[in-house]
A = this chain, B = another copy of it.
Amino acid sequence: MNRVQPRTLSGFMELLPDQQLRFDRMVEILRETYSLFGFLPMDTPLMEASEVLLAKGGGETEKQIYRFTRGETDLSLRFDLTVPLAKYVAMHHGSLNFPFRRYQIGKVYRGERPQRGRFREFYQADIDIIGNESLSVHNDAEIPAIIYTALQKMGLNNFLIRVNNRKILTGFYETLQLTEKSQEIMRIVDKLEKIGHVQVGTLLEEQGVDVELVEEIIKFLGMSGTNQDVLDKLEEYRNVNATFDQGLDELKSMIQCLGAFGVDEKNFKVDLTIARGLDYYTGTVYETILTDHPEVGSICSGGRYDNLAGYYTSKQLPGVGISIGLTRLFYILESQDYLRTKITPLELLVLPMVDDLQLSANVASKFREAGISTQLYVEDKKFKQKMAYADKLEAMYCVILGEDEVKNNCVTLKHMNSGEQQVLPLEEAVAYVSEKLKKFGRFTPYRG
């Protein structure tokens, strides 16, 4: 037979079962959290007509898109979950309730040259709140609370959600009469953490910004202290520019609410250097870094936008949202050994040592009826091989069914980690394992 060497495309994730369990657990935490905050699930096709998907057009992403023709149809694979959301809301506008809160967790495609931490197929997990004509700025305060809750549930503590408001920046640069250069300035300022104040100053001067204004900008961006300190210092700039004042009001209102939403101050910081792209976001912007690993950059970003779907509909659809690059986050968590200890691939393995399969099937069914994840091993192997399988599978418990057990209407229950063994009537064994699992916490796949 002519054989083909099996392989997986470069830049495409394919996990072994133990990794997959951890990945799925991460996804499950996100689903649970998003549902808890009243978001509805959405699932859109991976493929769209190119004319529809690229309606917004242009941009850096366009070169990376998987685009091809089938029959006479020009097709593209989605490269984010925002364009499909815009399409969905524009199409189904009459059937949705606004504010419309949806989450979507799905694969997206970008034909980048694969490199460390970059994928061609990767998961994004998005939440957005979309208003019809208007959307209260109070929604902006809830988004960091959701991310805070989700990351905490994943076992992460050392993260920092950094927040800013584009109106503050726009107003500030207007005041300095730098509106025309403001986009370029924000792009440079975005590098502050990487290259430092001196370098930023040099780059700004190269853009033709006067030295005094460079000083002003550096001083402005350099504001530090607690969130309250920064807000106090920003107050000193009030009453010069209306856009600035509006941005400051929005930022203050958000900071005030975070405590009420249960967000710890240590995980949340006003950072005036954050700008997030150049034209899409119009108010609040978010970034999230791992404080122990700032070098990996933002794991979760987003913000407020004025109009979601102008290229599809004349309806004004303001919104606020955030997106987690899930595949990348997973590899970071894996490399840090997060998520690692908590998942039991299998709670119980039934090992029959007698030929009567009916009896073993009945035993397995009883455990399953109690909600215990149970595998029945029916291969004709030696005892040693059966136990080796139980070990490799990392089953939490084994039930051994030998002739003695059958005769006495009992099972031998073995806790694999400790090696402890006991002989119990079936019903007692089921009750015992149920009780133990309840105490241990249920970390088997998809059980919360």
Q: What residues make up the interface of A, taking CB atoms closer than 8 Å to B?
A: 1-9, 12-17, 20-21, 23-24, 28, 31-32, 35-38, 40-49, 51-52, 55, 66, 68-71, 73, 75, 86-88, 90-92, 95-97, 99, 101-102, 107, 109, 111, 121, 131, 134-136, 138-139, 141-142, 145, 149, 253, 256-257, 259-262, 309-314, 345-346, 349, 357-362, 364-365, 368-369, 371-380, 389, 392-393, 444-448
Contacts and interface: CB of A to CB of B under 8 A. Distances in A.
Contacts of A3: 55, 310-314
Contacts of A256: 357-358
B260 A37 contact: no
Given A261-B361, A345-B40, A14 B45 contact: yes
Contact of A136 (B99, B310, B378, B444): B378
Given A47-B109, A70-B111, A141-B361, 12 more contacts: A1-B311, A3-B310, A6-B87, A9-B45, A9-B47, A9-B75, A20-B42, A46-B107, A66-B70, A68-B70, A260-B360, A261-B362
Contacts of A69: 68
Top 6 nearest A-B pairs (CB, nearest first) are: A38-B375, A68-B68, A260-B361, A138-B378, A4-B55, A12-B45
Contact of A23 (B43, B313, B375, B379): B43
A6 B447 contact: no
Contacts of A92: 16
Contact of A95 (B16, B361, B448): B16
A445 to B, nearest CB: 5
Contacts of A259: 358
A136 B96 CA distance: 52
A364 B146 CA distance: 12
A99 B86 CA distance: 45
A8 B48 contact: yes
26 contacts: A3-B312, A4-B55, A6-B87, A8-B91, A9-B45, A9-B48, A14-B43, A15-B43, A20-B41, A31-B446, A35-B373, A36-B372, A40-B445, A45-B121, A66-B70, A101-B375, A131-B379, A141-B357, A141-B361, A142-B361, A142-B378, A257-B357, A259-B358, A260-B359, A260-B360, A260-B362
A41 B70 contact: no
A36 B358 contact: no
Of A37, A135, A357, the most chain B CB neighbours within 10 A belong to A357
Contacts of A5: 52, 312
Contacts of A4: 51-52, 55, 311-312
B365 A261 contact: yes
Of A15, A45, A345, the most chain B CB neighbours within 10 A belong to A45
Contact of A6 (B52, B95, B253, B379): B52
A44 B24 CA distance: 13
A110 to B, nearest CB: 11
Contacts of A96: 16-17
